[in-house]
């Protein structure tokens, strides 16, 4: 019997590990110089917007871990959460390096307060498991989010910022799978049983009030040369969603949109009541042990 | 009779029994039970660590932990598939788990109380699991052996990540070192119990060895685990919570103290700190998802009719 522990105490011994130790960071070969046409403060804000969308949504999706309706779905939702977490890490790292104040991905994820988070409100609301929703609401959010983010990232591959373009090029492959996964489940739930149809209709109504916000540009998004103006994505995303709804025999939900608060919404750092709890859970350990190494 | 002789010849020659081969009913039953319990352990094992994904204190650790728990779901899937090659039914095995009729590894009936537990589970619990599982890569039933090769590779990756987390924490603050030591104190003895009861009380060992399902006895594997863990603990800078732990030059092994077998049997029989909670969580997820599985089945049937 071979000894599976050989070399464990000797970190230099690469050959003892099943997958070796030679991992390189994603995008390690991309030019990181900020182009002169790009405003640095706006680029930081924009990277936080797209990074926070992914980070907060990943946090929500990971809540399904060990609670999915089927093991295959546990694997799938964790995979999507991991893809988004990967996107978040690249974007927060970029925000930190352009800002130049010494904040890394962890300082940005764990030490910012709620008002500093610039994600859209769609990603932070509780869509289950548990009281906030269910698998259908989760799929409804995934459909809307991935259709929107895929359209956005497809445009972003042309960004003048080489890092944003590279993050987007990596992300579109992932998001195409996420959208496909959500579309397939939308069809199954809509065409499955009377109950599942009822649930998916309710799920879409749960997330739909947050849809307009996705397409409402923040001044940074209209101003920044490296950004995509989300207003320009609306007809394309509507077309994708209508295709899915037509195939599923579903109607676009007819519900009121959630209003901004004093004219402000997620991109301005003004969130729903759910956000504070989400951050409290996410940041608690990191904040309670200052100076710790993880 | 010829079939039985052929089976014995294949096993004795260290070749593999495959799903279509004849096998004694007891062999089939033993394997289904062992593989199912192993699959259940992977699935229940998602809970104690999965509980820390939302609170992982760095994004790198969050990604590592999420990927690891996802791997466990994947291991559960390979293993249920291996059990299905023996005629078992995954739904039936799941029902046995959520109704408490079939067991899983007792280690998961202990709570994960701090983030250091995530590291200690990687180091000691995955380490003990690898010790148990590496010999299963050569077990006599082909699909199980092949599933175990991939599982062992991934487990060894998890173990490395767990140990690396602990090494990092030990270089951090005093509070972190205390956290690691506290976690080691709580997990060491339950990890030793993962090898099962002592050989003289292990009901299934002898027959499983003869069929080459098992390759080593519980006590052999436990000793091996102790011998490997002591130098690792020294390197880490933690003291294992056993005053009797000492090198025995004559035996060429570490001596160690008596395991609390009363606790072992109490937890096996359902009375550990988290038994009820773990099964209830699995049952709730299964029941909450029933309408989704029904919808998927109805949709697939409808598509099949349309085709």
**What is the model's pLDDT at position A29?**
87
**What is the model's pLDDT at position A23?**
60
**What is the model's pLDDT at position A10?**
44
Distance CA(A156)–CA(A172), nearest Å, equals 10
Q: Is the pLDDT of residue A39 over 80?
A: yes
* Residue to test with chain A: of B299, B300, B304, most A Cβ within 10 A: B299
The arithmetic mean of pLDDT across residues A80-105, rounded, is 98
**What is the model's pLDDT at position B105?**
96
Considering CB atoms only, which of A73, A106, A192 is closest to B58?
A: A106
Q: Is the pLDDT of residue A271 over 80?
A: yes
* Residue to test with chain A: of B58, B125, B180, B292, most A Cβ within 10 A: B292
Give the model confidence (pLDDT) of A98-140 as tens digits: 999 999 999 999 999 999 999 999 999 999 999 999 999 999 9
| Mean residue pLDDT across chain B | 96
pLDDT > 90: percent of chain A: 90
Task: Categorize the per-residue pLDDT at A9 as very low, low, confident or very high, splitting at 50, 70 and 90.
Answer: very low
- Count the Cβ atoms, other than its own, within 10 Å of residue B73: 25
Task: Categorize the per-residue pLDDT at B180 as very low, low, confident or very high, splitting at 50, 70 and 90.
Answer: very high
Distance CA(A131)–CA(A125), nearest Å, equals 11
Q: In CATH, what number does A35-288 get? A: 1.20.1260.10
Q: Is the pLDDT of residue B41 over 80?
A: yes
Q: Is the pLDDT of residue A12 over 60?
A: no
Q: Is the pLDDT of residue A80 over 90?
A: yes
The arithmetic mean of pLDDT across residues A11-18, rounded, is 48
**What is the model's pLDDT at position B201?**
87
The arithmetic mean of pLDDT across residues B155-184, rounded, is 97
Q: What angle do CA A30, A33, A38 make, to 5 degrees?
A: 120
Least confident window among A1-10, A34-43, B237-246: A1-10
Hey, where are the domains in chain B?
A: 3-306
Q: Is the pLDDT of residue B143 over 50?
A: yes
Give the model confidence (pLDDT) of A186-231 as tens digits: 999 999 999 999 999 999 999 999 999 999 999 999 999 999 999 9
Considering CB atoms only, which of A4, A289, A292 is closest to B130?
A: A4
Distance CA(A109)–CA(A88), nearest Å, equals 9
Considering CB atoms only, which of B60, B73, B165 is closest to A71?
A: B73
State the pTM of this model. Answer: 0.95
Instruction: Indicate yes or no: CB of A82 within 8 angstroms of CB of B56.
Output: no
Task: Categorize the per-residue pLDDT at A1 as very low, low, confident or very high, splitting at 50, 70 and 90.
Answer: very low
The arithmetic mean of pLDDT across residues B21-39, rounded, is 96
B-facing residues of A in 36-95 (CB < 8 A) are 55, 59, 62-63, 65-75, 78-79, 81-82, 85-86, 88-89, 92
The arithmetic mean of pLDDT across residues B266-281, rounded, is 96
Hey, where are the domains in chain A?
A: 35-288
**What is the model's pLDDT at position B213?**
85
Q: Is the pLDDT of residue B90 over 90?
A: yes
Task: Given the cut 0.90, state whether the ipTM is greater than it.
Answer: yes
- Provide the terminal-to-terminal Cα distance of chain A, rounded to the nearest Å: 34
Nearest chain A CA: its distance from B27 CA (Å)? 23
Instruction: Indicate yes or no: CB of A4 within 8 angstroms of CB of B131.
Output: yes
Q: Is the pLDDT of residue A17 over 60?
A: no
Say if residues A32 and A163 touch (Cβ distance below 8 Å): yes
Q: Is A201 on the interface with B (CB under 8 A)?
A: no
Radius of gyration of chain B (CA): 21
Q: Is the pLDDT of residue B47 over 50?
A: yes
Q: Is the pLDDT of residue A293 over 50?
A: yes
User: What fold does the segment set B3-306 form as a domain?
Assistant: Ferritin (1.20.1260)
- Within B112-204, residue ranges assigned H as helices are 115-120, 126-133, 142-170, 174-193
Q: Is A110 on the interface with B (CB under 8 A)?
A: yes
Q: Is the pLDDT of residue B124 over 70?
A: yes
Distance CA(B280)–CA(B154), nearest Å, equals 28
Q: Is the pLDDT of residue B212 over 90?
A: no
**What is the model's pLDDT at position A11?**
46
Least confident window among B109-118, B121-130, B213-222: B213-222
> What 8-state DSSP symbol labels residue B194?
T
The arithmetic mean of pLDDT across residues A151-162, rounded, is 98
Instruction: Indicate yes or no: CB of B176 within 8 angstroms of CB of A106.
Output: no
What residue has token string 């204190």? B57
**What is the model's pLDDT at position A21?**
53
**A92/B206: higher pLDDT:** A92
Closest CA to B50 of A129, A138, A140: A129
Task: Categorize the per-residue pLDDT at A83 as very low, low, confident or very high, splitting at 50, 70 and 90.
Answer: very high
Task: Categorize the per-residue pLDDT at B132 as very low, low, confident or very high, splitting at 50, 70 and 90.
Answer: very high
Distance CA(A1)–CA(B134), nearest Å, equals 8
The arithmetic mean of pLDDT across residues B71-80, rounded, is 97
Distance CA(A4)–CA(B153), nearest Å, equals 10
Q: Is the pLDDT of residue B165 over 50?
A: yes
Residue A14 vs residues B77, B159, B225: alpha-carbon distances, Å: 29, 14, 22
Interface size between A and B, measured as CB pairs under 8 A: 191
């Amino acid at each position: 019997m071979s000894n599976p522990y050989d070399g464990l105490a000797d970190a230099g011994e690469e050959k003892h590990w099943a997958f070796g130790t030679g991992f390189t960071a994603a995008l390690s070969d991309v030019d990181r110089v900020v182009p002169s046409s790009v405003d640095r403060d706006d680029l930081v804000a924009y990277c936080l917007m797209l990074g926070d969308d992914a980070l907060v949504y990943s946090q929500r999706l990971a809540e399904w871990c060990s609670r999915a309706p089927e093991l295959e779905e546990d694997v799938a939702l964790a995979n999507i959460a991991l893809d988004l977490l990967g996107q978040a890490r690249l974007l927060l790292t970029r925000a930190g390096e352009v800002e130049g104040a010494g904040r890394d991905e962890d300082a940005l994820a764990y030490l910012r307060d709620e008002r500093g988070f610039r994600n859209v409100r769609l990603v932070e609301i509780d869509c289950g498991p548990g009281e906030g929703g269910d698998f259908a609401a989760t799929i409804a959010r995934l459909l809307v989010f991935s259709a929107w983010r895929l359209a956005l990232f497809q445009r972003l591959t042309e960004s003048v910022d080489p890092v944003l373009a590279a993050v987007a090029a990596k992300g579109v492959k992932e998001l195409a799978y996420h959208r496909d996964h959500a579309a397939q489940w939308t069809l199954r739930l809509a065409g499955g049983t009377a109950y599942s149809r009822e649930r998916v209709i309710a799920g879409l109504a749960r997330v739909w009030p947050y849809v307009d916000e996705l397409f409402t540009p923040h001044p940074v998004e209209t101003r920044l040369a490296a950004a995509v103006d989300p207003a320009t994505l609306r007809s394309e995303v509507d077309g994708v969603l209508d295709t899915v709804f037509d195939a599923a025999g579903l109607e676009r939900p007819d519900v009121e949109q959630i209003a901004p608060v004093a004219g402000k919404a997620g991109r301005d750092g003004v969130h729903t009541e759910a956000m504070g709890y989400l951050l409290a859970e996410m940041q608690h350990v990191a904040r309670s042990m200052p100076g710790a190494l993880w | 009779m010829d079939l039985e002789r052929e089976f014995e010849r294949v096993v004795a020659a260290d070749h593999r029994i495959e799903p279509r081969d004849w096998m004694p009913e007891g062999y089939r039953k033993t394997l289904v039970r062992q593989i199912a319990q192993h699959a259940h352990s992977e699935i229940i094992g998602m809970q104690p660590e999965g509980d820390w994904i939302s609170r992982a204190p760095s994004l790198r650790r969050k990604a590592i932990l999420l990927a690891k728990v996802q791997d466990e779901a994947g291991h559960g899937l390979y293993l249920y598939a291996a059990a299905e090659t023996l005629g078992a039914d995954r739904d039936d095995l799941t029902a046995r788990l959520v109704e408490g009729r079939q067991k899983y590894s007792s280690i998961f009936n202990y709570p994960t109380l701090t983030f250091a537990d995530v590291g200690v589970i990687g180091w000691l619990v995955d380490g003990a699991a690898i010790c148990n599982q590496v010999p299963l890569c050569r077990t006599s039933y082909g699909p199980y052996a092949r599933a175990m090769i991939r599982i062992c590779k991934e487990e060894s990756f998890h173990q490395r990540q767990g140990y690396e987390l602990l090494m990092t924490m030990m270089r951090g603050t005093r509070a972190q070192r205390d956290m690691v030591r506290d976690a080691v104190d709580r997990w060491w003895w339950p990890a030793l119990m993962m090898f099962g009861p002592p050989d003289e009380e292990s009901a299934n060992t002898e027959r499983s060895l003869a069929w080459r399902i098992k390759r080593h006895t519980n006590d052999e594997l436990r000793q091996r685990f102790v011998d490997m863990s002591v130098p690792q603990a020294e390197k880490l800078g933690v003291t294992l919570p056993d005053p009797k732990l000492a090198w025995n030059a004559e035996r060429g092994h570490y001596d160690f103290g008596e395991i609390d077998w009363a606790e072992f049997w109490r937890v096996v029989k359902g009375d550990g700190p988290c038994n009820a909670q773990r099964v209830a969580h699995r049952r709730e997820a299964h029941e909450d998802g029933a309408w989704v599985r029904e919808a998927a089945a109805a949709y697939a049937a409808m598509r099949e009719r349309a085709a």
